Amino acid sequence: MAGVFPVQGFGFLSNYNGAFVTSSALAAMQAIASTNANSIELAPRLFMQTRTSNDVFADPNKTESDANILQAMANAQALGLSVTLKPMVSALDGGLAYVLNPSDPASFFLSYKTQMVHMAELAEQADVSMLVIGNELGKISGPEYRSYWVDLIDSIRAVFHGEITYAAATDEAINVSFWDKVDVIGINAYPPLTTSTEPTVEEMVNAWNSMSTDDYWAKVMNHMSPVDFFHSLALQYDKQVFFTETGYRSVDGTNISPGGWADSTTQDVQEQYDAFNAFFQVWGSEGGSWFRGASIWNWDTNNKYSPLGYSPEGKPAQQLITEWYGGQHQPPAQTLTGSPSADLMDVGGGNDVLSGGVGNDTIKADGGDDTIAGGPDTIPKLTETTVTVTGYSSVVDGVGAKMQLLLNGQQVGDTVEFHGAADASGFQTFTFTFANPATVSSLDLAFINDIANANGDRNLYIKDITVNGEHLSVSDAVNPSSPGTWNLYQNKSIHYDMTAHHDLFFGSSTDDDSLDGGAGKDLINGGAGTDMIQGGAGNDTINGGPGADVIHGGADDDSINSGASITTATDQLYGDDGNDIVKASTGDTGALLDGGGGKDQLYGSGVANVMNGGDGNDYLSGGGLDTMHGNAGDDQLKGGTAATQMFGDDGNDSLQGGTGSEFLYGGSGNDRLTGGGGNDYLGGGTGNDTFVFAPGLGKDTITDFQNADGVQDIIQLDKTLFADFSALQSHMAEVGTSVVITLDANNTIEIKNTTVDQLHASDFWFI
């Protein structure tokens, strides 16, 4: 059974030389493998003397020896675990990575490069999958240090051929200057969730999907929710995100500060369990194609129960992790509706319902039985707009912040009043719906009742703004009271210039979508426009909708229908692997149908289609001026009303013409060719082929009849045409280099490149 993430594992930290290779460490690795994990992150330590030192070294007492690191890698790989090597630098004076600030960066990086290139050589020797080139070195990962990191990465790539990442602290990730140079964006994901020591799972799920109420955390996540911020990094750099660390201590309040060891000393295994429950629900559902997975921090090398530590060993969280890693839980379903402009939906598992609406949308679903609609079959112009505003305020003298929504400088809807909120669960959302004007130039959110007195200072804190479902960004706003935020003071306004964003209000004029169902049994409808549709693994039902579409069914058994093409372009329908049903629309202007692997059924429309059965024993039915290829396998090809061209290709194929004048070629194998009505050309190709004729055959031609050198083709005639060979002979005559069998003026069979005396009774069947 597939797990919840592509990569799912545990961190494995060594605090002294030899910790990786004890008998308890091996038992710990075995325990990790038993959780259905497929990965382990080995973390040996490197050191500096002080937090401002410039020399990085391996302490013989604290740093694992090369032999120990190599042995630990081999032990993990023998258990089926892929290995990430993550050397971690700290100072012997107690300074952890995030406070390290060398006094001479050039000297530091020269020393650090020596150590890391050596670690890369070990990683290459052991053929590990990934190397982490740094961990939470936040004071030296910004733009002024980029050249050092680029040089380090180039040096490491010279000796190591696996993937490279960097493990950024949650609040460091926004400032890392070299994400473009690594292969995967690595994040030690410990965002604060709620302010409660007894949060519900739902509250923690909401926190992952909400902008933080804390200004510091909102700023370092670019005023987005943690989910949206991490996704934004993946989009910005076109790389997957991997949680190089994430986890929770088994203490009261662990969700408040997941990455900290301070404060609580009260054991709370239930909160640890609940926090992991929320984590898996969020990332199982939200983590789409852009999310690689997670390495849970951590499993202790001593393989002992840790009463207040991060290790889930022996706690309720261990069983929960085992179940999620083993694919025993279904991620929550999402129901998402796109805006009138271009949307991106890239989600994880779960039986999702995803609707892009108009606009050129990209929708990617992962596992689960999904329902995906690229958009409507026709593109409407919207006459009405809905704006939502979410936020909270400080309350002074019993009154919260009041706000007006202005469109083109004029208020729409009522003045609304916000109240206070301790966390995201207390946010308020107000909805404004109005008829669209002829044009839209601006949208403003005006704070109108600021006050400061002995009882406090009334301010307004906006956390989300949508226009017809499209989330606006902080970076696009003009906010004179607090630039770069949505915080409002002193009766100021948040202003958006909307002159270039009319599609948000009136809808896009195009609906050209890219839809990928991923694994699972999906129902996909492209809607209007030129769509690219991929069913992915699973038994899918796909309808291209109006427009010229490209459709891939993916693995397993799919039903694919093109819609009517409204242009001269053709639909492209690919069944891929599996036993697929692929149908062109009766209103289409032509389509490419490709069954791919498996036992497929392909149905053309009444116009010209190109049909490829692919591997497997396929059935192809044409409806118009089609070109049909059975490809590999024993295929059945059936023509329609026009001049179809049929090619059986490999295998023992059956080709049956329709009522049009058609070309039938069997290819290799022992093929059966039936011309049907019309004036047909029949070529058997190699093998012992059978040419079949019945009343109303028309004027047909056999191009390559063979009855010598061990090859025996057969001409099969309906008994109503001729009772036996004696009755046939009087109707055979040589015409040039051919023998022509004449029934009447409208029905003849020409056998090319043969003579009457070369034809015998054994060459004919009368049935």
In the prediction, which pLDDT does 588 show? 60
- Please determine, for residue 566, whether its predicted confidence score (pLDDT) is greater than 50: no
Write down the pLDDT at residue 532.
86
Q: What is the pTM of this model?
A: 0.84
Q: 238-280, pLDDT tens digit by residue?
A: 999 999 999 999 999 999 999 986 677 899 999 999 999 999 9
Give the SS3 label for residue 515: strand
Q: What is the mean pLDDT of the chain?
A: 94
pLDDT at residue 129 in the model: 96
Written as one letter, the residue type at 335 is T
Q: What is the mean pLDDT of residues 107-115?
A: 98
Say what the pLDDT of residue 157 is. Answer: 98
* pLDDT at residue 350 is higher than 70: yes
Residue 586 has pLDDT above 90, yes or no: no
The stretch 726-732 carries a mean pLDDT of: 97
**Predicted local confidence at residue 744, as pLDDT:** 96
d(CA 756, CA 762) in angstroms, rounded, equals 13
Handedness of CA 745, 747, 750, 755 (dihedral sign): negative
Calculate mean pLDDT across residues 123-152: 98
Q: Find the length of the chain.
A: 767
Rounded average pLDDT over 370-394? 94
Angstrom CA distances, 482 to 393, 488, 494, 712, stand at 15, 7, 9, 89
Mean pLDDT within 111-136: 98
User: In which band, very low, low, confident or very high, does the pLDDT at 567 lie, cut at 50, 70 and 90?
Assistant: very low
Task: For residue 319, give the DSSP letter.
Answer: H
Distance CA 552, CA 554 (A): 6
Q: Is the pLDDT of residue 23 over 80?
A: yes
pLDDT of residue 564: 57
Task: Reply yes or no on whether the pLDDT at 593 is more than 60.
Answer: yes
**Percent over 90 (pLDDT), the chain:** 82
Helix 316-325 vs helix 269-286: angle between axes, to the nearest 10 degrees?
20
Whether residue 609 is predicted with pLDDT greater than 70 in this model: the reply is yes
Predicted confidence (pLDDT) per residue in 444-467, tens digit = 999 999 999 999 999 999 999 999
Mean pLDDT confidence for 513-528: 88
Complete domains list, the chain, with CATH: 7-326 (3.20.20.80), 344-378+502-633 (no CATH), 384-497 (2.60.60.40)
Nearest to 133 by CA among 144, 125, 151, 143: 151
Report long-range pairs for 537-542 (Cβ below 8 Å, ≥24 apart).
538/369, 539/578, 542/517
Across 144-240, where does the E strand assignment appear? 163-169, 184-188
Amino acid in position 260 = G
Residue with more model confidence, 316 or 535: 316
Question: Does residue 319 contact residue 31 with C-beta atoms inside 8 Å?
Answer: no
Q: Give the pLDDT score at 570.
A: 65
Q: Residue 333's pLDDT is what?
A: 95
716 confidence band (pLDDT: 50, 70, 90): very high
